Amino acid sequence: MLSVVRNQSARFNNASFISRNPVLSRLKLIYYYMFAYVYGLVGSCSDVIMVNSTWTQNHILLLWKSGDRTSIVYPPCDVQTFLDISLVEENSREEHSIVSVGQFRPEKDHPLQIRAFNTLFKRHVTQKLKLILIGGCRDTEDEQRVTQLKRLCEELGVPVEFKVNIPFEELKKHLSEATIGLHTMWNEHFGIGIVECMAAGTIMLAHNSGGPKLDIVVPYEGNITGFLADTEESYAEADRKS
């Protein structure tokens, strides 16, 4: 977060009216430095520290200065249900689906998914494609966010399906039919949803940051396990390669 404010980058947690104003950005940066100092002071008093990823470990070590007491404990991911999914044969598919699984929260950056799909759909691909956004809405604000996303799809003219608060069995069905699993959250600490998509047999395309970059979408026995991207163009290109 310090880097976001320091670089005056507009994000869901750094409003544009602040990022455009050098004075407000400086005041917010001072606040975050003060908060980080107190946070690090309190955290350094811990006897045992457990973190959920390499990215989180690096973050905590930077602020808490407690390497001798910090250990990584990866989140438990019960993937057996996804491993048991019957996969659809690639050559039997009439169309390919790109599936995103995650709550409709601002940090998930669904607009990036839609814009990247629009780039792919309009420039690179002639075969039949569809984007399916699967997620939960916690409240009215999330529902309004879904409405805004649907409006963006209409403006761009891209075919996107929204599956909100669907049953687990329906989620498994969509994953069994999917070609690509899509993730766009910047600096997600770990990414259980990514692990589940990979277990379901999708080709994973995740954000080039945080836990996905350092712990999940990493080479295994010399083979790639997925793709990483961070812009509309790089997502579209990785989708095309997938």
Per-residue pLDDT, averaged over 22-30, amounts to 79
| pLDDT per residue as tens digits for the range 121-164 | 887 665 688 999 999 999 999 999 999 999 999 999 998 999 99
* pLDDT at 24 (0 to 100): 78
- The pLDDT-based confidence of 31 (bands split at 50, 70, 90) is confident
In angstroms, rounded to a whole number, what is the distance separating the alpha carbons of residues 202 and 206?
12
Query: Could you tell me what percent of the chain has a pLDDT over 70?
Result: 87
* pLDDT at 20 (0 to 100): 72
If you average pLDDT over every residue of the chain, what do you get? 88
Query: Is residue 91 scored above 90 in pLDDT?
Result: no
Which one is predicted more confidently, 1 or 58? 58
In 84-231, which ranges are continuous DSSP H helix? Answer: 110-119, 140-156, 168-177, 192-199, 210-211
Residue type at position 114: I
Report how far apart the first and last C-alpha atoms of the chain are (Å, whole number).
32
Residue type at position 208: N
Per-residue pLDDT, averaged over 85-112, amounts to 83
